[in-house]
């Protein structure tokens, strides 16, 4: 299990950098070509995405409560941009990504204990999506 992946990097983070003007056209093209190369040459498999769907406002509230120095520059606007890209990628009808695995949506606006309980409650459902390992 991964917290983030090559897919969220491509469809959310690099896309947001491009839209924000922080990536030049050539940098964006190079990142996309690298992504396409990895996809065609290595074909990484995704069994399931568990999307902790959290509003940008709740994320911002949690960042402020953590009070980490490295997170102080994260703006609500940035979180809204990333949220919209995650929604388009994972929920949107016009998904054009390489992958379209099942997406299990969990309400991330709840308190940590409720989210933890929810994840424990659906762990069987999560593990049913995992492909069986191949041994050679």
**Residues noted as catalytic:** 3
C-alpha 126: how far from its chain's center? 17
**82: Cβ contacts below 8 Å, ≥ 6 apart:** 12, 13, 16, 56
Polymer length of the chain: 136
**32: Cβ contacts below 8 Å, ≥ 6 apart:** 10, 14
Which residue do the tokens 């406002």 mark? 57
Closest to 12 in 3D by CA, of 31, 39, 37: 31
């Amino acid at each position: 299990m991964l917290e983030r992946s090559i897919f969220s990097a491509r469809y959310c983070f690099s896309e947001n950098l491009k839209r924000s003007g922080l990536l030049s056209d050539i940098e964006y093209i190079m990142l996309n070509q690298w992504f396409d190369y990895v996809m065609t040459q290595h074909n990484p498999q995704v069994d399931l995405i568990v999307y902790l769907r959290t509003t940008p406002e709740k994320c911002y509230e949690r960042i402020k409560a953590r009070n980490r120095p490295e997170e102080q520059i994260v703006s609500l606007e940035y979180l809204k941009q990333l949220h919209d890209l995650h929604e388009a990628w994972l929920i949107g009808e016009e998904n054009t990504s390489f992958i379209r695995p099942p997406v299990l949506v969990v309400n991330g606006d709840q308190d940590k204990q409720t989210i933890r309980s929810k994840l424990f409650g659906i762990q069987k459902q999560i593990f049913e999506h995992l492909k069986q390992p191949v041994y050679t």
